[in-house]
């Protein structure tokens, strides 16, 4: 696949894509003054400073500076590469990716992967049909009904049932000309140990499809009536070329919009916990796949919200799992809270018994990371002795080492001091020693915008934006701009944008949002998006007048700085010879005359 084919493919996807439709999947938007506004998904904010312009196909956050076109938005919010964002949108639109020239081995692997994905898709359909339409699925339907799982939820998650038969799926898919080796490659069947042949891996289980943003890639199965203590309650697809538990959160493909709207994700341990909460109307929920919570899991959630609420089982194993997860999310930069489900219940049991409102009250009263850690340690430490106090202190302090809010910090230090009956100054001294070795938090989801020199002067900033907008529309105006105002006059970010547009013009190609997103730095691309979004749809004649005025403003500022420098030079070091004095005076007069000319007639050039 050549560059021309890629460009054509990207252009086709772009033409079919509406930025409002894409962004509104993740961010609730309200129309105002011809644009749409919402709370930025890339940083926490109380007032909406995130703007989307469907006409221009751009977004920009006036709070954190993130900006660009629709694919830049997708790449940031899904934490994927720019071209992966194009492919994701193409998949959502049903647009086939163009084929590319590959080696025979690459082509073989590509075909095989496509077949494996198809096998998973057919298996999902088989299990779902067994659950909702066959007599074999009656036991599964009764089980789900008893747990309060609605028909709507069954359809939303495409839940299914694997018959308690050794070769039901194997025979079904082999009749469709798939080989046992292919079925084994996606983890649906396994080799018999004591004889030849294969058997279905999932039998007598509720089947739960697991998907990432690109589609269905694996299964989890919940056993029914095993009668065998050695049979695991939950069984996942083993790690395959398509499936890796460390990089997946169950339900995220269904709950991402709810997570974004709520500003928080509820993390539970099991599939049925997540499905029960979802079915009861708690939509912003995800589950780990029987594994420890990983940094990859945290990064997935941070695409949609910064607040993570852990709601693991309240038994000792669940609390230990919570404690292992907390440092991971804190290091990533999340706001961490913990829900303790009363009476030793798991979230599924609690919501079935007490309902949605009671569960929402638990969420409302969730403990902070520090409170949870402190209460956990105090419940398990003999802190009545001096040794016990300092042991507890050593276990509690690490979780507040990175708190930057002085008010919160003081409150926590006081709370710890009161709980341990220790002097607050001693606690603060221990905290200072610990925090001095802690690394600062970095939130990778927020795009930082470089401070522009021109921001010190709003008039100069507006003039810079005007000449860049004009260069975007008509690249040949750059020659005139740079003849009047040298490139070095502009800030670093503006210089990058101008040089890029100049390069596009030299290559006889129009600058566009796609090229900007892939060829400019994050800061320059975001700043360009902001500048273009501020542009109005005025007639060209009016734009030319504004452009001339802006160039003159920048030129005048440049000359005024030069005049001041010459004046300071002449006053500091008066030359002895008459000729040098005359030369400086003549230069001063020349510069002053041009300044006055610009002030008196801004359209003189």
Distances (CA, A) of 242 to 105, 113, 217, 247, 589: 18, 8, 6, 11, 74
341, burial (CB in 10 Å: exposed 0-12, middle 13-18, buried 19+): buried
Confidence of residue 214 (pLDDT cuts 50, 70, 90): low
pLDDT tens, position by position, 263-316: 899 999 889 999 999 999 999 999 998 778 888 888 888 878 889 999 988 777
CATH number of 104-243: 3.90.980.10
Indicate whether 453 pLDDT > 50.
Answer: no
For the segment(s) 453-600, the CATH number from 1.10.260, 1.10.860, 1.20.120, 3.40.50 is 1.10.860
Domain boundaries, the chain: 3-93, 104-243, 252-365, 373-435, 453-600
pLDDT at 122: 96
Evaluate whether 252-365 and 373-435 have a shared fold: no
Q: Which whole number is the average pLDDT over 47-72?
A: 90
For 320, the enclosing helix (H) or strand (E) is helix 316-332
* The CATH fold of domain 3-93: DNA Primase; Chain A (3.90.580)
Q: Write the burial class of residue 453 (CB in 10 Å: 0-12 exposed, 13-18 middle, 19+ buried).
A: middle
Give pLDDT, residue 450.
38
Q: Of 312, 305, 308, 311, give the one whose Cα is nearest residue 329.
A: 308
pLDDT at 603: 45
Residue 133 has what DSSP assignment? H
The band of 2, judged by pLDDT with boundaries at 50, 70 and 90, is: very low
For the chain, helix, strand, coil in percent to 5 are 55, 10, 35
Beta bridge partners of 287: 250, 268
Residue 446 has pLDDT above 60, yes or no: no
Q: Indicate the SS3 state at residue 335.
A: strand
- Residue 343: its pLDDT value, please? 75
pLDDT at 448 over 60: no
The CATH topology of domain 252-365 is Dna Topoisomerase Vi A Subunit; Chain: A, domain 2 (3.40.1360)
Residue 299 CB-half CA count within 13 A: 12
Compute the mean pLDDT over every residue in the chain, rounded to the nearest whole number: 83
Q: Report whether CATH 1.20.50 matches the domain 373-435.
A: yes
Q: Is residue 128 predicted with pLDDT exceeding 90?
A: yes
- For residues 198 and 183, is the Cβ–Cβ distance under 8 A? yes
Report the range out of 40-49, 113-122, 232-241 with the highest average pLDDT.
113-122
Quote the pLDDT of residue 1: 45
Quick check: 363 and 339 in contact, CB under 8 A?
Answer: yes
User: DSSP H helical segments within 180-315, as ranges?
Assistant: 180-185, 252-262, 271-279, 295-302
Which of 211-225, 431-445, 482-496, 534-548 has the weakest average pLDDT? 431-445
Q: pTM of the predicted model, to two decimals? A: 0.61
Q: Looking at per-residue confidence, does 360 or 557 come out higher? A: 360
Cα–Cα distance list, 580 to 275, 566, 567, 585 (Å): 86, 13, 14, 9
pLDDT in tens, 455-481: 467 888 888 988 898 888 888 888 888
What is the per-residue pLDDT for 107? Answer: 76
Looking at residue 397, its pLDDT comes to 81
């Amino acid at each position: 696949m050549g560059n021309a084919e890629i460009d054509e493919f990207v252009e086709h996807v772009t033409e079919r894509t509406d930025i409002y439709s894409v962004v509104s999947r993740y961010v609730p938007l309200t129309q105002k003054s011809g644009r749409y506004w919402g709370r930025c998904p890339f940083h926490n904010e109380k007032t909406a400073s995130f703007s989307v312009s469907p006409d221009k196909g751009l977004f920009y956050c006036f709070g954190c500076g993130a900006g660009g076109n629709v694919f830049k938005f997708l790449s940031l919010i899904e934490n994927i590469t720019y071209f992966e964002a194009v492919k994701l949108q193409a998949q959502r639109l049903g647009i086939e990716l163009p084929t590319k020239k590959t080696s025979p081995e690459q082509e073989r692997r590509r075909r095989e992967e496509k077949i494996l994905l198809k096998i998973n898709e057919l298996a999902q359909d088989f299990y779902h049909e067994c659950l909702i339409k066959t007599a074999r699925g009656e036991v599964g339907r009764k089980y789900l009904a008893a747990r309060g799982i609605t028909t709507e939820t069954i359809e939303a998650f495409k839940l299914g049932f694997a018959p308690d038969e050794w070769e039901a799926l194997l025979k079904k898919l082999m009749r469709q000309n798939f080989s046992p080796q292919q079925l084994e490659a996606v983890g649906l069947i396994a080799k018999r140990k004591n004889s030849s042949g294969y058997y279905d891996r999932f039998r007598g289980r509720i089947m739960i499809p697991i998907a990432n943003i690109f589609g269905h890639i694996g299964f989890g199965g919940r056993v029914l009536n095993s009668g065998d203590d050695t049979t695991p309650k939950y069984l996942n697809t083993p790690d395959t070329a398509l499936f890796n538990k460390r990089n997946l959160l169950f339900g995220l493909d269904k709950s991402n919009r709810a997570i974004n709207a709520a500003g928080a994700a509820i993390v539970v341990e099991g599939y049925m916990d997540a499905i029960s909460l979802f079915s009861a109307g708690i939509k912003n929920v995800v589950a780990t796949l029987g594994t420890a919570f990983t940094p990859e899991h945290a990064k997935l959630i941070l695409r949609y919200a910064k607040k993570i609420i852990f709601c693991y089982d309240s038994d000792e194993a669940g609390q230990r799992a919570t404690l292992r997860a907390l440092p991971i999310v804190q290091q990533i930069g999340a706001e961490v809270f913990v829900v303790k489900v009363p009476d030793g219940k798991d979230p599924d049991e609690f919501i079935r018994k007490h309902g949605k409102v009671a569960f929402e009250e638990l969420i409302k009263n969730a403990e902070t990371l520090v409170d949870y850690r402190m209460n956990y340690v105090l419940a398990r430490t003999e802190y009545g002795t001096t040794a016990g106090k300092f042991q507890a202190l050593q276990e509690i302090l690490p979780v507040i080492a990175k708190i930057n809010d002085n008010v919160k910090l003081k409150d926590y230090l006081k709370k710890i001091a009161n709980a341990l009956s220790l002097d607050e100054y001693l606690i603060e001294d221990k905290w200072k020693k610990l925090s001095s070795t802690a690394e600062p938090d970095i939130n990778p989801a927020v795009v930082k915008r470089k401070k522009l020199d021109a921001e010190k002067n709003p008039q100069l900033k507006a003039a810079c934006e005007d000449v860049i907008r004009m260069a975007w529309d008509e690249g040949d105006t750059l020659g005139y701009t740079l003849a009047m105002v040298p490139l070095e006059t502009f800030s670093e970010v503006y210089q990058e944008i101008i040089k890029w547009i100049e390069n596009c013009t030299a290559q006889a190609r129009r600058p566009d949002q796609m090229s900007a997103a892939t060829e400019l730095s994050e800061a320059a691309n975001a700043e360009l998006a902001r500048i273009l979004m501020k542009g109005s749809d005025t007639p060209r004649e009016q734009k030319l007048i504004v452009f001339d005025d802006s160039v003159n403003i920048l030129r005048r500022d440049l000359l005024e700085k030069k005049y001041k420098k010459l004046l300071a030079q002449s006053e500091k070091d008066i030359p002895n010879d008459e000729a040098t004095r005359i030369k400086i005076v003549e230069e001063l007069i020349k510069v002053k005359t041009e300044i006055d000319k610009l002030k008196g007639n801004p359209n003189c050039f």
